[in-house]
Structure 1
Amino acid sequence: MRKALLPLVGLAVAVALVAPALGIGGDDGRKVLDAKVLGSVSEPYTGSANAIRGVGGGGLPWEIGDANASLRADGRLHVDVEGLVLARRSPVPANLQGTNPIPQFKAIVSCLTTASGAATTSNVSTALVPASPTGDAEIDTSIELPSPCFAPIVFVTSPGGAWFAVSGR
């Protein structure tokens, strides 16, 4: 009997160790994303033609001074951007270059997950936060992540959901 239980105990231990690494169950506070750099939208990602995980880019190219994003398995999200402004080049109109004309930003967290046994993408939005004319904003919130949440990506977006900056660059 003892020999028959040993493989089952070994399997239970393996599942307990591997499941969190696979995104299963992850409701603890472990950091699952720690992006020290975010990339700004540029051609060919402007507009909806080359959307990333269903999230279209802003209609014009942007640039970013400094940014970071962290996401924990329990849904705590912190995003800090400085200098997220329209690019200082064409095709941005000269009078808008280097400015942020959008008074509010939000974040979208995109996860690869499963639904009814099929792989799918789940995008979860935060509430809007104030953004300065110089492109500074801080998002500090908690969101409900899908389970599992594989390969999370964090976007900084317009109120309508067009992305200006993204983790993973």
Structure 2
Amino acid sequence: MHAISRTAAFLAGAVIGVSALAATASASADAGGVPRSDILRAPLQGSQLSDPPLFGLVRGGAPWVISEGTARLRANGDLSVEVEGLIIPTRGINPLATLSATVVCNGQDRRMTAPVPFSMAGDAVIETHVNLPMRCLAPAVLINPLSSDGTYIAATGR
């Protein structure tokens, strides 16, 4: 039997390590090699009547609960929002036909998305691109009923 030299074992290990790093780097970049870094990935919470105004938007006129929801914002402005079971609990349904999302950067720069269908079960998906300012510090996502820029019914956070 041949014994593997320490040098050969070291080189084989180095090749495997470099290959793993290259695979990880390519998985975190788009087809053009541009990094797809997330600047926000957070759960959504339904608004309550006791919630304060956020970034100039006031909470909706009824309490809202959500089964599950997430918002993901990438540095290039790609936004993905998934909402499941966002309803008014006293009604047991969502009474609204559409919703949109507002991305807030720097505590004041707001960008609202186009409306998307919002099911009676409280489900909706937003997949879009928003034009972010050059710097987007402390990003947040708020969910707007019927694309009302002045109201939110859910927001990122706990």
1:33 aligns with 2:40: yes
Aligned to 2:95: 101
Q: What secondary structure sits across from 1:105 in the alignment?
A: strand
Given the alignment of the two structures, is residue 44 of structure 1 paired with residue 57 of structure 2, yes or no? no
Give the alignment's Cα RMSD to 1 decimal.
1.4
Query: Partner residue of 1:56?
Result: 58
Check the 8 A contact 2:116/2:126 in 1, yes or no: yes
Task: Report sequence identity in percent.
Answer: 37
* 2:39–2:75 Cα contact (<8 Å) kept: yes
- Normalising to structure 2: TM-score of the pair? 0.74
Kindly indicate whether residue 157 of structure 2 is the aligned counterpart of residue 168 of structure 1: yes
Unmatched 5+ stretches in structure 1: 1-26, 89-96, 113-119
Code of the aligned partner of 1:127 = A
Which residue of the other structure, out of 124, 127, 131, is the alignment partner of 1:140? 127
Q: Give the secondary-structure state (helix, strand or coil) at the position aligned to 1:108.
A: strand
The code of the aligned residue for 1:160 comes to S
Q: Whole-Å Cα distance in 2 between the matches of residues 74 and 28 of structure 1?
A: 9
TM-score, normalised on structure 1? 0.69
| Correspondence for 1:83 | 85
Task: Look at both structures and tell me which one has the larger radius of gyration over its CA atoms.
Answer: 2
Query: Higher relative contact order at CA 8 Å, sep ≥6: structure 1 or structure 2?
Result: 1
- Structure 2, gaps ≥5 residues long: 1-33
Query: In structure 1, which of residues 68, 75, 80 is the aligned counterpart of residue 70 of structure 2?
Result: 68
Q: Deviations over 1:49-96 (max 9, x none)?
A: x311111111111000111110000000000000000123xxxxxxxx
Structure 1: 4+ residue segments shifted above 3 A: none
Aligned equivalent of 2:17: none
Per the TM alignment, residue 44 of structure 1 is displaced from its structure 2 partner at its CA by 1.2
Partner residue, 1:24: none
